[in-house]
Structure 1
């Protein structure tokens, strides 16, 4: 079972604008993410999962702090820090745009929003990427302003999310395309509404642009969702593994590159512009990867734990990799996990051993993801 312990609230760690609402509606466990409190459990991982399947949830993801880049060289800087070709991204569109170091390893894996030709947000996962981008801009002489704006994301997740969002904001929500967004001022609350989120369920993300309005926005959505089986939720570990969604810091680290974790599709080595890590990625592509991330199904009874650390994976008694994240999937009635292992052992159907706190368990490697389609 996952371990929890009390967290002392202090000024050293920031609250999101939705913090009071998460407490009011029963948040029972928190973690620290980007120097902020992040709720991770309400009723329990499986109950929260069940609620997400059957209604609509509000997720406090205010921990997705933004790096704002604007100014004359904003577009050049944004292109330099990601391997994605951002010329393919239109104003009003978002794209997954990881940040890499000069060795091709992950610094962060944010979603980029293009607000104007010279104005971008990078919605961060868990690392101090703001300082890194400021350092790159200063060191390379880019004429751009890099700061953290007053922006706090809130995700609306689940099969009834479109019904809730159109009820509150209007029927235009139903026409909003995936990874597109629109700026809105609703009842005096400024926000950007995007059709995206951290699952394969129907989902939206509201980027609140006034932190003083967080609880007001939450209550507005909550009241409108009372007849839609609304509940509070969090980025669900079970859902993300089923969907093949990776978590930076849990499933991939600074010593991992996009090619070995299945994100080669987002690297554009043919683009004319240079970017950090380009030469390293060209060499990796030419020489081949040494490790590969795969799914695995673990034999035995239902697991009653989330792993607290990466666990050794072995073949014939020799350690060949590590298990990253693992859960029991109620949907598939299987223990499922991610494994990164030496590429020579990365074959579908191969049997491996995982050293768990409860002893050695057998697992079989499978392709990702378990859920193939997006709702």
Structure 2
């Protein structure tokens, strides 16, 4: 880390508290949508996670509130029940955060920092602030000026990426998650990838052209989801600037849009190859405004080893979750690396996700 562990933890906590500073306790304590946690659950979960890893497991101290461990464990208490059980109120969650941080600083003074664990906890908190923004957006609680989705500038069109091998995954010597490792050579065929994400204006052309009515553009699962939930348009595409990236589209919608456009979604290997390719071409533009869906299922790389706990990645492997790449306007730069892998279910729309198209190379 370029910052010390204490500096990093302090900066991240200031970011978390600033995120919710404009909200009153009632907004923090209500569940705005069954899909999301009450914001106060996230705050207490951040405290419980820090206490578990930096005080209990690292420093060997007893948990501050062992009676709260299951309540603020993401697997023991799923989102579907978090709005129905008794939670710490907003003042109680803030006190929990303060008390755990005092314990963490004492542990660092006594044992010194562990670069991996302290960075993991800092990044865990940053991931939750993005999740909290998802809930805030659903509840109309985002701070003034958010979201930061800027109109796209620069050249449009395609990048032609030649066939070749590249080293995929995070390099040694810097923090990375277990699902980014081990770094391994991947052979990728030639492909084209859009220089920019799809805009709201282009998405509206898809909608007006029958995008949500034409069965041939949808997978069987996507069509069933669309029909079951009466999905007829993307509200954010209609409300946003026409030249800004489309946001809050599901994988099912992204896949249908790609078929309509005559393209496809990139594999995550293609996405990472394009994002890290530096052969004198222009880089991908506007990476980091919206997460970008790929066609890939979330799984482990060859030689994957779960670390430091299998619930971070391994329990999500299989053919349920699709990979997203690149980061969004709500993603801290500490997380938004070219090797970071996000994942979600293909029907989810709450994530700040858009589309960057790929295509096979043109035949001369």
What's the TM-score once normalised by structure 1's chain length? 0.28
Structure having the higher helix fraction is 2
Structure having the higher strand fraction is 1
